[in-house]
């Protein structure tokens, strides 16, 4: 049963489970599939052909555990410092649940050009459905909806690669309708993908994709999760995984990576996965330019400081030499002064002695004269 809340239709877990049951049957037809208006006919073995000749595959994730949760139950999710979802262990992934939501035509209409053309009401509905199963802050809304848009694009791209590109004519494509789509939706997609605008966008995307030389090879595990697990392994036990003590080392490693692999292209940063942009990792263009200017100024200041230190060292050595020379000269002057004073003192003493002797002799003469007169 479905409940309506304003303009947004909220699909109950029971309806969602029925809808996702159809998604598990997404397989390429062995022969041809009738273009019946009932999508369920496409999975009828009597129409499609013998299923014993085909390998049974896993099919898309349906998140049955999440859909069977009680209304009051909610799961918690961890986010890293860049706003990406990470997990401490195995368990239900938020991204897989969002994938089931955007693949359901009950939630997101298939007849739209891309995620940007999905109405705000539908996006609010998706956000509300996510909040029914996960405890999230309002600040996570933008990232969650971006992830939903990425999953919606991937979902349609896989349909195109599986049911549209392998066939040369629209008649053949109509005969190989995806089991979970109605005739009307499939005709709309075939017409849309055949328009010049869609073909032009597709060619541009192919050219951009061809420039990607580093492929993601870790399956469903994101780069953010790999970084998080490596951080848990490298950090000492008992320390918080959210600490930023190694941010300087991480920045240094990123700089080395850029020197080896070349600068980043517009919009994304290699090795960080979906979400982080160059402005988030390295700062905005103006900030990076200011940082480069400040870095150059700092290098110049450091060079000037080194030159000033060298001049100071040279001046100190010269001053020390001058001091030594001055002390030597001072000692010499003091020595010469002492000798000159000594000579002068001796000369004074001799002069005084001569004067005293002259005075004594004069007095003696006077005394002798006086004695003779008597």
User: DSSP letters of 285-334?
Assistant: HHHHHHHHHHHHHHHHHHHHHHHHHHHHHHHHHHHHHHHHHHHHHHHHHH
Residue 235 lies in a domain: no
Tokens read off for 37: 């208006």
Residue carrying the six token digits 């402005």: 279
Question: Measured between alpha carbons, how far is 173 from 166 in angstroms, rounded to an integer?
Answer: 9
Q: Are residues 66 and 150 in the same domain?
A: yes
Question: Measured between alpha carbons, how far is 353 from 347 in angstroms, rounded to an integer?
Answer: 10
Residue 127 lies in a domain: yes
Residue 261 lies in a domain: no
- Segment 318-340 shows an average pLDDT of 83
Q: Are residues 162 and 302 in the same domain?
A: no
Which contiguous run of DSSP H or E holds residue 135?
strand 134-135
Q: Are residues 87 and 195 in the same domain?
A: yes
Which contiguous run of DSSP H or E holds residue 75?
strand 75-76
Residue 94 lies in a domain: yes
pLDDT digits (tens, 9 = 90+) for 230-289: 777 877 665 555 444 445 555 656 667 666 666 666 666 666 666 666 655 555 555 656
Name residue 2's beta-bridge partners: 11
Give the C-alpha distances (Å, rounded to integers) separating 218 from 10, 223, 225: 34, 8, 10
Tokens read off for 197: 């605008």
Q: What percent of the chain has pLDDT over 70?
A: 64
Which contiguous run of DSSP H or E holds residue 78?
strand 78-79
Calculate ∠ Cα 196-200-203, nearest 5°. 135
- Write the DSSP symbol of residue 86: E
Of 39-48, 194-203, 281-290, 298-307, least confident by mean pLDDT is: 39-48
What phi and psi values does residue 11 have, to the nearest 5 degrees? -90, 130
Residue 374 lies in a domain: yes
Question: 0.85 exceeded by the pTM?
Answer: no
Q: Is the pLDDT of residue 77 over 80?
A: no
Question: Measured between alpha carbons, how far is 168 from 172 in angstroms, rounded to an integer?
Answer: 7
Q: Tell me, what's the pLDDT at 38?
A: 39
Residue 300: alpha-carbon gap to chain centroid:
29
Residue where one domain finishes, among candidates 189, 211, 233: 211
Contact 188, 110 (CB under 8 A): yes
Question: Measured between alpha carbons, how far is 270 from 214 in angstroms, rounded to an integer?
Answer: 8
Residue among 148, 82, 107, 87 at smallest CA distance from 15: 107
Q: Mark 223-250 as b/e (b = at least 16 C-beta within 10 Å).
A: bbbebbeebeeeeeeeeeeeeeeeeeee
How many CB atoms lie under 10 A from the CB of residue 324? 10
**How many structural domains comprise the chain?**
2
How many CB atoms lie under 10 A from the CB of residue 337? 10
Tokens read off for 94: 């938020």
Q: Are residues 33 and 137 in the same domain?
A: yes
Q: Are residues 180 and 310 in the same domain?
A: no
Residue among 88, 99, 109 at smallest CA distance from 144: 99
Q: Are residues 156 and 303 in the same domain?
A: no
Q: What percent of the chain has pLDDT over 90?
A: 22
Residue 170 lies in a domain: yes
Q: Tell me, what's the pLDDT at 145?
A: 93
Q: Which domain holds residue 371?
A: 284-374
> Which residue would you say has higher pLDDT here, 200 or 370?
200
- Segment 77-94 shows an average pLDDT of 69
Residue where one domain finishes, among candidates 211, 235, 264: 211
Q: Is the pLDDT of residue 293 over 80?
A: no
Contact 246, 227 (CB under 8 A): no
Question: Measured between alpha carbons, how far is 11 from 18 in angstroms, rounded to an integer?
Answer: 11
Q: Are residues 149 and 23 in the same domain?
A: yes
Residue where one domain finishes, among candidates 155, 188, 211: 211
Angle of helix 94-102 versus helix 141-159 axis, rounded to 10: 60
Residue 278 lies in a domain: no
Residues written for the chain: 374
Q: Hey, is 218 helix, strand or coil?
A: coil
Question: Measured between alpha carbons, how far is 267 from 132 in angstroms, rounded to an integer?
Answer: 32
Question: Nearest 10 degrees: CA dihedral of 143, 274, 229, 212?
Answer: 180
Residue 252 lies in a domain: no
> Which residue would you say has higher pLDDT here, 335 or 67?
335
* DSSP-derived pairing of the beta strands 75-76 and 134-135: parallel
Q: Are residues 6 and 109 in the same domain?
A: yes
How many CB atoms lie under 10 A from the CB of residue 61? 19
């Amino acid at each position: 049963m479905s409940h309506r809340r304003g303009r947004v239709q909220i699909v109950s877990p029971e309806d969602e489970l029925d809808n996702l049951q159809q998604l598990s049957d997404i397989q390429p037809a062995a022969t041809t599939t009738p273009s019946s208006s009932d999508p369920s006919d496409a999975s009828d073995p009597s129409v499609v052909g013998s299923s014993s000749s085909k390998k049974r595959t896993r099919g898309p994730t349906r998140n049955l555990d999440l859909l069977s949760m009680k209304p009051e139950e909610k799961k918690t999710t961890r986010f890293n410092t860049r706003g990406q979802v990470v997990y401490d262990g195995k368990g239900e992934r938020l991204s897989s649940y969002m994938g089931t939501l955007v693949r359901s035509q009950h939630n997101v209409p298939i007849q739209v050009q891309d995620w940007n053309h999905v109405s705000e009401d539908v996006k609010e509905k998706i956000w509300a459905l996510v909040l029914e199963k996960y405890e999230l802050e309002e600040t996570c809304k933008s990232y969650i909806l971006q992830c939903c848009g990425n999953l919606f694009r991937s979902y349609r791209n896989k349909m195109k690669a599986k049911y549209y590109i392998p066939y040369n004519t629209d008649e053949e494509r109509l005969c190989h309708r995806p089991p979970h789509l109605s005739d009307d939706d499939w005709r709309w997609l075939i017409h849309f993908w055949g328009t010049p605008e869609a073909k032009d966008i597709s060619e541009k995307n192919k050219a951009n994709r061809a420039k990607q030389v580093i492929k993601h090879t870790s399956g469903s595990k994101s780069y953010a999760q790999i970084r998080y697990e490596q951080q848990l392994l490298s950090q000492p036990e008992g320390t918080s995984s959210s600490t930023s003590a190694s941010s300087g080392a991480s920045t240094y490693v990123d700089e080395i990576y850029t020197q080896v692999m070349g600068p980043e292209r517009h919009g994304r940063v290699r090795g960080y996965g979906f979400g982080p942009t160059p402005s988030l990792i390295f700062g905005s263009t103006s900030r990076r330019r200011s940082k480069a200017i400040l870095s150059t100024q700092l290098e110049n200041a450091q060079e000037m400081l080194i030159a000033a230190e060298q001049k100071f060292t040279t001046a100190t050595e010269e001053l020390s030499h001058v001091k030594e020379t001055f002390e030597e000269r001072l000692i010499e002057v003091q020595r010469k002064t002492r000798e000159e004073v000594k000579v002068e003192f001796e000369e004074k003493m001799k002069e005084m002695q001569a004067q005293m002797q002259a005075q004594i002799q004069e007095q003696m003469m006077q005394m002798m004269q006086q004695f003779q007169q008597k």
